[in-house]
Amino acid sequence: MRKSSLLLIALIILFSCAKESQKKNYPKEVEDRIFSSKSGLVEDEVLTMVKLKTPALFSTAVVVDGKIKIDQDQLEALKAEQMEFLDEVKNLSDKIEVLYRYQYTMNGFTLKTPKSLEKQIMELSKVDVTQRTTEIAPPVRKFSRHEFESLLNKNLQGPRNTSVNFIGVGDVQLQYGYDGKGLSVGILDTGIDFTHKMFEGPGTVAAFESVDPTADAPTSLFPSAKIKGGIDLVGDNFTPRSKIPAKRLPKPDKNPIDISGHGSHVAGTVAGLGDGVSSYSGVVPSADLHAIKVFGGGSTGDYIVLAGFEYAADPNNDNDPADALDVLNLSLGGAYGIPGNLYEAAIKNLSKVGISVVASAGNSGDVSYITGAPATSSEALSVGASIDNMDHNWKFDAISFSSAALPEKLVTGYGTASFTISLNDIETLEGEIVYAGVAAEDFNQELKDKIAGKVALIDRGQVSFVDKVKRALDANAIAVVIGNNQPGGFIQMGGSSDSKIEIPAVMISKDQTDILKKNLSAGASITVDLKAPEKEEKPELIDTLTGFSSRGPRSLDSAIKPEIVGPGQQIVSAAAGSGDKVTRMNGTSMSGPHLAGVMTLMKQAYPELSVSQRKAILIGSAKPISDSEGNLYPVSRQGAGRVQVLKAVEAKLFATPATMSLGEVNVKKSITLRRTLTLTNTSSDALTLKSKVVKSNKLDISMPSEVVVAGNSSTDVKLTIKIEGDQLEQVDEVDAIISFYNETKQVVIPALAVAKRLSALTATRLTVYGSAGADRGAAVDLELKNNSMHEGLALIFNKMIEDERRLPNAELIDLRNNFCDLQSAGYRIVHENGKDILEVGVKTYGPQEVWSGCEVSVLIDSDGDSKPDQEIKGTTNSGIPGLTDTVPSLSPRDFQSFLIDYELAASIASRVDQEQRNGNEDIELNIVSAIQGAETFEKYDHSTVSILRADLSLIEKASNGSIQFKVKLDSRDSEVNESDDFAGSKDDWTMLNPIKSEGAYLDFPKSVTLAGGESKTLELTRGLGNPDLLIYYPYNMTTRSILVDDLTQQTVHPSYND
């Protein structure tokens, strides 16, 4: 027996050695995945992601017994290709540096390279696609630092009343025992405070302060029993927007300690361990965590997130992904996300091998298409934010008013002021109310005497909140209550003050203000308790959406994003650097980790299913939710609804596709669509399901009333969906939620289309009553006809320029390449409000949903030196650096046409840039002083047409009255051929004499509206120049095809009748 054992041991050792000897030793250049730069990033250098031609390893990998197996032959081919590519790069220039290498989710590199070499890199033999890196905004703390600290260790209201239990996690743990044991979750964020008690650290501030974030983590603290691994991919000083070259490049290390707090809070929601008193455990408290730090001192980049994916694929970097993580949480992203090519492919590859990616939809609110990337990636689970039933979400601090004149104590919530001391810092505060009017001027002595030692009630309006409160302080008031003068509730008051005003101020609603003023005017004495023990209760807020949760659908194709929502308001979790304390935070950054934990539970419950199937079960078992008035939210805000974990674990039923994204639909009279859903039953019992429409908004859906799905099988269900044109707005988000159900099972499927009501305008004839070449001043008739039943619009311009369609990159999907591709421009001069306005109409080949990703401008050269002197730019207020800071009342997302002194703006930018390079990073760019005028920017959403406007008298002209101009589009999409697109050559200027009489045609109407079936004849006058007339029809058919032209533009050639 002993000899047999020794023989067995010898065979094992021999086999192990033989297996080890088969492993190929690769050179450092294709073995390491993170490289240190020799220098910082200077202005003439860029970061470029390069995708090579051999497929990524995960694209062909298989999963065997829960472990990922890669093709070894493909690994060797990939490594060989990478070596050959690096040799080509070295031959090209020794100034090119490798920052990151990728092999699992993408085959390629991120390079630091001189701008001048970008095109040459693109043309290297091994290169498939190149792409400039893009920035991802830093996580946003939804509380001020003061509020953050005031919320530390607020006691819970009970062990069951938590955000985690609200979605059913506690029931799943009790009934099934699923708690994430044996599974691992990667947190791509600001790191994790591994010293915190929620992660089984020492739980002391001293332990946190003992960690040097720039050095390797102490082995006694990291890795740990809870946080099994991690990496800092950026370093704490990494700030992509910094002008200091060293800060613009990441400095990776092995210490992912969190010094900002966001990542620790996120990690605690996923898998933290609570104490049941001030904290509660995360969704999967037995799961392992990996801290993948992708944020340093500011924002990060997509190339760094891709490096985080590579870590998640193979944490120990041994070319064997058997240790790959199970779920990744991405509480990050930017607004108006588009489905990125490299992101799409990388997340698709992760999903293919069983790694779930959960991404937050964003915190930009109820604004169409604003939901962010990478949550817009098809395989990522995109998560919005809802409100759970924890007491602090529906029971609010209140103030109370008491008086013999009032039938009962008046208890109300209130808005706070950012510029005064907080009521949180005060134990008790009561006083008599004195009405002080609007406080637009300093109080007289009589009113000051009345206010002294009392609480001033002041109406909102006329002057700033700060001025009102300062006047009350000057009168020795002990507090201020601002009465709203607008219907509705109260608001949070902002304002600027050199220091905190030393009395608190709150706001109450107009209705309550009117009650108080009425009783005060009748001589009543009213006392206010600003620290009332009562709470204002609003149970109707439970299970509603937060105001900040970003709305979809996805840009470019109107796909359903977000797909599901989870708790994201005032979520309690770990406070980094505090030892053992917790705090509350708001955001889809908080709802995302709830769902990351849930996807971990789904892997426990359904280990045999794919990521897309688990995701489908989760979406299908969601609860469609309604606002506080009982109206179901649009699909573009909630997807299928709020996550229900117990129902998901017990469902064993899902639909494919899980969401029906019908995309953009052109509708004339009506249109009928056909779709097929596949219902899959993973249980052994046959299911007989009824169907119903839970919600329908202008989608008429027909489907079988009953469906039978056999055990462990699937059944196709055919649907017909009809949209009637006469029910639509011009552009209409139409949606529905349907359900298949029985007594114990239900699957819900959201459907969404963005329907455009089509006109069919065309010019049938342009007649000039004169002879060609001798027609100045001749009468002109333009005949228009609308061949649709719907109203249409014609916008008429003198033709300026046309541009050819650009060709797509290799593998670049067509809809992206013509997204910001300039087709034509025209001009006209209109007289409005006593001044002449130059209007420049601009058309793109592809339609713009909301003109968020395509910035239109006209560069003007007035002195003939071929350099811009002025610029007319169509952009949002936030697109002008410093404008919303200078004028806070402006909405950041509102569009305007700005006339800008180009040379002054460039000079300001250069000076600020130099100061930042010299180390003054606190200085912010502000070009408000370069704004010479502003007019409306007329944009037509879901069309190809926009109109820039400028006061003609403010435009500088040459001595003969002419100008030279270029029309330019700037795209925020880094994956198109060029980020900017000029009409014609970048170097060519077009001459224009912006005098009304010099135009090709005169007497334009501002716009022409034609009812369905209507014809009109317009009377124009012939001027000078090119006789072709340019007409835009923004409500005609658009298309994203590069093979078919749309119908929103017509160039009309005249016929002469002499």
User: Kindly report the CA angle at 997 between 995 and 999, in degrees rounded to 5?
Assistant: 80
How many whole angstroms separate alpha carbon 502 and alpha carbon 482? Answer: 16
Contacts (Cβ under 8 Å, ≥6 apart) of 290: 184, 185, 186, 187, 227, 228, 229, 230, 311, 312, 315, 325
The identity of residue 36, as a single letter, is S
> What tokens appear for 436 in the block?
């002080």
What pLDDT score was predicted for residue 158?
Answer: 46
Residue 439 reports pLDDT greater than 70: yes
Contacts (Cβ under 8 Å, ≥6 apart) of 445: none
Other CB atoms within 10 Å distance of the CB of residue 780 = 22
Of 581, 747, 646, 746, nearest to 164 by C-alpha is 646
Phi/psi at 701 (5° precision): -105, 130
Q: Where in the chain is CATH 3.30.70?
A: 29-133
Contacts 24+ apart (CB under 8 A), 108-111: 108/49, 108/50, 108/51, 108/52, 109/49, 109/50, 109/82, 109/85, 110/47, 110/48, 110/49, 110/50, 110/303, 110/306, 110/307, 111/47, 111/48, 111/49, 111/50
How many whole angstroms separate alpha carbon 22 and alpha carbon 16? Answer: 10
DSSP 143: S
State which of 38-52, 483-497, 683-697, 876-890 shows the largest mean pLDDT. Answer: 683-697
| % of the chain at pLDDT higher than 90 | 75
What pLDDT score was predicted for residue 989?
Answer: 87
Q: How would DSSP label each residue in 931-994?
A: EEEEE--EE-TTEEEEEEEEEGGGS---TTS-EEEEEEEEES-TTSS-SEEESS-TT--EEE--
The rounded Cα 453 to chain-centroid distance in angstroms is 48
What pLDDT score was predicted for residue 38?
Answer: 66
Average pLDDT over residues 572-586: 95
What pLDDT score was predicted for residue 5?
Answer: 39
CATH 3.30.70 given to domain 29-133 = yes
What pLDDT score was predicted for residue 3?
Answer: 40
What pLDDT score was predicted for residue 356?
Answer: 98
> What tokens appear for 617 in the block?
């079960």
Q: What is the pLDDT confidence band of residue 241, given thresholds at 50, 70 and 90?
A: confident
Handedness of CA 1004, 1005, 1007, 1010 (dihedral sign): negative
Average pLDDT over residues 498-525: 94
Question: pLDDT per residue over 83-100, tens digit each?
Answer: 999 999 999 999 999 999
Residues found in the chain: 1058
Q: How would DSSP label each residue in 565-621?
A: EEE-SSEEEE-TTSSS-EEEE-SHHHHHHHHHHHHHHHHHH-TTS-HHHHHHHHHHT
Q: For 492-501, 540-549, 981-990, which range has the lowest pLDDT when averaged over its residues?
A: 981-990
Query: Quick one: angle between helices 302-313 and 341-352, nearest 10?
Result: 10
Residue 898 reports pLDDT greater than 70: yes
The b-or-e profile of 648-670 (16+ CB within 10 A means b, else e) is bbbbbbbbbebbbbbbbbbbbee
What pLDDT score was predicted for residue 7?
Answer: 35
Question: pLDDT per residue over 665-717, tens digit each?
Answer: 999 999 999 999 999 999 999 999 999 999 999 999 999 999 999 999 999 99
What pLDDT score was predicted for residue 343?
Answer: 82
Residue that has been written with the tokens 């892997």 in this structure: 603
Residue 984 reports pLDDT greater than 70: no
Question: pLDDT per residue over 124-158, tens digit each?
Answer: 999 999 888 888 887 765 443 444 444 444 545 44
30 and 126 Cβ atoms separated by less than 8 Å: no
Residue 303 reports pLDDT greater than 70: yes
The identity of residue 537, as a single letter, is E
**pLDDT greater at residue 997 or residue 381:** 381
Question: pLDDT per residue over 270-284, tens digit each?
Answer: 999 999 888 999 999
1000 and 799 Cβ atoms separated by less than 8 Å: yes
Q: Where in the chain is CATH 3.50.30.30?
A: 397-537
DSSP 759: -
Mean pLDDT of the chain: 90
Residue 1034 reports pLDDT greater than 60: yes
What pLDDT score was predicted for residue 351?
Answer: 98
Of 879, 875, 929, nearest to 904 by C-alpha is 929
Question: pLDDT per residue over 198-213, tens digit each?
Answer: 999 999 999 999 999 9
What pLDDT score was predicted for residue 14?
Answer: 34
Q: Where in the chain is CATH 3.40.50.200?
A: 145-392+551-649
Q: What is the pLDDT confidence band of residue 990, given thresholds at 50, 70 and 90?
A: confident
Q: Where in the chain is CATH 2.60.40.2310?
A: 653-757
DSSP 275: -
Contacts (Cβ under 8 Å, ≥6 apart) of 470: 497, 501
Region of 388 please: left (phi>0), alpha (psi -120 to 50) or beta: beta
Residue 1 reports pLDDT greater than 50: no
Of 138, 169, 315, nearest to 239 by C-alpha is 138
Average pLDDT over residues 70-75: 96
How many whole angstroms separate alpha carbon 605 and alpha carbon 216? Answer: 38
Handedness of CA 51, 52, 54, 57 (dihedral sign): negative
Residue 811 reports pLDDT greater than 50: no
> What tokens appear for 934 in the block?
């502003």
Pairing of strands 97-102, 108-114: antiparallel
| % of the chain at pLDDT higher than 70 | 92
How many whole angstroms separate alpha carbon 380 and alpha carbon 392? Answer: 31
Q: What is the pLDDT confidence band of residue 405, given thresholds at 50, 70 and 90?
A: very high
What pLDDT score was predicted for residue 922?
Answer: 81
Q: What is the pLDDT confidence band of residue 864, given thresholds at 50, 70 and 90?
A: confident
Of 874, 870, 1030, 876, nearest to 947 by C-alpha is 874
Other CB atoms within 10 Å distance of the CB of residue 722 = 13
What pLDDT score was predicted for residue 820?
Answer: 81
CATH 2.60.40.2310 given to domain 653-757 = yes
Handedness of CA 599, 602, 603, 609 (dihedral sign): negative
Bridge partners of residue 751, in order along the sequence: 660, 736
Q: For 498-512, 813-827, 848-862, which range has the lowest pLDDT when averaged over its residues?
A: 813-827
What pLDDT score was predicted for residue 298?
Answer: 84
> What tokens appear for 546 in the block?
């937060």
What pLDDT score was predicted for residue 907?
Answer: 94
Contacts (Cβ under 8 Å, ≥6 apart) of 183: 284, 287, 288, 326, 327, 600, 603, 604
> What tokens appear for 259 in the block?
């010094």
Question: pLDDT per residue over 739-788, tens digit each?
Answer: 999 999 999 999 999 999 999 999 999 999 999 989 999 999 999 999 99
pTM of the predicted model as reported, rounded to 2 decimal places? 0.90
What pLDDT score was predicted for residue 918?
Answer: 81
Average pLDDT over residues 631-658: 98
Average pLDDT over residues 582-592: 95
65 and 56 Cβ atoms separated by less than 8 Å: no
Residue 867 reports pLDDT greater than 60: yes
User: Kindly report the CA angle at 403 between 402 and 404, in degrees rounded to 5?
Assistant: 140
Residue that has been written with the tokens 């919005």 in this structure: 384
**pLDDT greater at residue 890 or residue 3:** 890
Domain 397-537, second-level architecture: 3-Layer(bba) Sandwich (3.50)
What pLDDT score was predicted for residue 1047?
Answer: 95
Question: pLDDT per residue over 314-369, tens digit each?
Answer: 999 999 999 999 999 999 987 787 766 688 899 999 999 999 999 999 999 999 99
Phi/psi at 117 (5° precision): -105, 0
How many whole angstroms separate alpha carbon 323 and alpha carbon 184? Answer: 9
What pLDDT score was predicted for residue 597?
Answer: 98
Q: How would DSSP label each residue in 424-444?
A: GG-S--EEEEEE-TT--SPPP
369 and 562 Cβ atoms separated by less than 8 Å: no
> What tokens appear for 444 in the block?
């007289």
CATH 3.40.50.670 given to domain 145-392+551-649 = no
